[in-house]
Chain A
Amino acid sequence: MSEMKRLDTSAPKQSLSSNEQLALYDRYGSLAYGIILQIIPQTHLAQEVLVELFASRYLQACSGQTTNLATCIVRLARARALEAKAQQLPLDAHSEEPTPLQPEDMPELVFDLAFRQGYAPDTIAEQLQIPKAEVMKGFHDYFKSLRQP
């Protein structure tokens, strides 16, 4: 929480010191690496993205955010991983077709397509031929299903 407090009290555009970057890495490095690996299974590439995320100034974007630090890092890790995946593996980005939809699998599928594969909710709705509201509901249902034992 100390890193978070430091960030919250600082000016929004103030840059992070290397110690603060390392402190954030110590706290959220594993979380970010787990997310990056979900999107890029190649470990060498995932590690490059992780280094880039924590060694560069991307983390400064979190200092002016209204959401908490962990959520911001989740978003940044996903965005950087998807960007790297698009650059390194352009063929894979378009080779995956959504699988036939089963109602019980929909929340998981929607989460996978949007979070791990980078499809926009509108695109998912179009590809799955369902209303966008249903796609959005899929996100809520996915996290709801995680709450159930």
Chain B
Amino acid sequence: MNTYQYITSGILETYLLGLASEEEKQEVERLAAANAEISAALSSLESEIERYFLQTAVPPPTDIRETIAREAQGSAIQKRGTNGQQRRPPEEPKGPEYHKVEVSDTHIRVHKLWRVAFLVVFILSKVFLALALYYYFKSAALEQEVIRLKTEITQMAPR
């Protein structure tokens, strides 16, 4: 199998997605280290996979972040305790561990593109407002001019 056939065989995709067997993983890593073309294809595919999954990304509820912060902090404290040779009483076997996830919040998360969209709409609204004011005053001035000219014509007309 030549390099092109290897790259297009699908083995690189399965390797990156974690679907390859241990033997296949080792083979890909060995060949990528030895072959610049395979290594480049692997890097390019990584970016492609990241792009693909970013398209399918879903923003989690905002409270999840707080839960993760709390849990991560808790495990860090627990780890420090273990490193400091602190003796703890043996924990009783527990049932399945559940994470408390709050879903009632007053905030919404939207895609970051909305920020750009909002700015564009805001700027456009200002531009249109300025144009509206400009043409309003211009038309008012022209109207005054028309009235003045009409008055002049009326005065100049023979009686």
Binding site for B on A (CB under 8 A): 15, 17-18, 21-22, 25-26, 29-31, 33-35, 37-38, 44, 47-48, 50-52, 54-57, 66-68, 70-71, 74-75, 78-79, 114-115, 120-121, 133, 135-143, 146-147
A30 and B58: CB pair below 8 A? yes
Name which residue of chain A comes closest to B16, CB basis: A71
Q: In the docked arrangement, what's the CA distance between A142 and B48, Å?
A: 12
Given contacts A25-B68, A48-B99, A70-B53, contact A37 B58 (CB under 8 A): yes
Q: Which of A22, A30, A78, A120 contacts B17 (CB 8 A)?
A: A78
Name which residue of chain A comes closest to B79, CB basis: A15
Binding site for A on B (CB under 8 A): 8-14, 16-19, 29, 32, 42, 45-46, 48-50, 52-54, 56-61, 64-65, 67-69, 71-73, 75-76, 79, 98-99, 101, 103
Q: Which of B12, B17, B99 contacts A51 (CB 8 A)?
A: B99
User: What are 5 contact pairs spanning A and B, CB under 8 A?
Assistant: A51-B64, A57-B75, A74-B17, A121-B19, A140-B8
A51 and B101: CB pair below 8 A? yes
A75 and B18: CB pair below 8 A? yes
B8 and A137: CB pair below 8 A? yes
Q: In the docked arrangement, what's the CA distance between A44 and B61, Å?
A: 11
Name which residue of chain A comes closest to B72, CB basis: A18
Question: Whole-angstrom distance from the CB of A133 to the nearest CB of chain B?
Answer: 7
A70 and B50: CB pair below 8 A? yes
Q: In the docked arrangement, what's the CA distance between A56 and B72, Å?
A: 7
Q: Which of A22, A30, A56 contacts B60 (CB 8 A)?
A: A30
Q: In the docked arrangement, what's the CA distance between A47 and B53, Å?
A: 18
Given contacts A15-B79, A51-B99, contact A136 B57 (CB under 8 A): no
Q: Which of A29, A35, A67, A75 contacts B64 (CB 8 A)?
A: A29
Q: In the docked arrangement, what's the CA distance between A52 and B74, Å?
A: 13
Name which residue of chain A comes closest to B19, CB basis: A114
Question: Whole-angstrom distance from the CB of A47 to the nearest CB of chain B?
Answer: 5
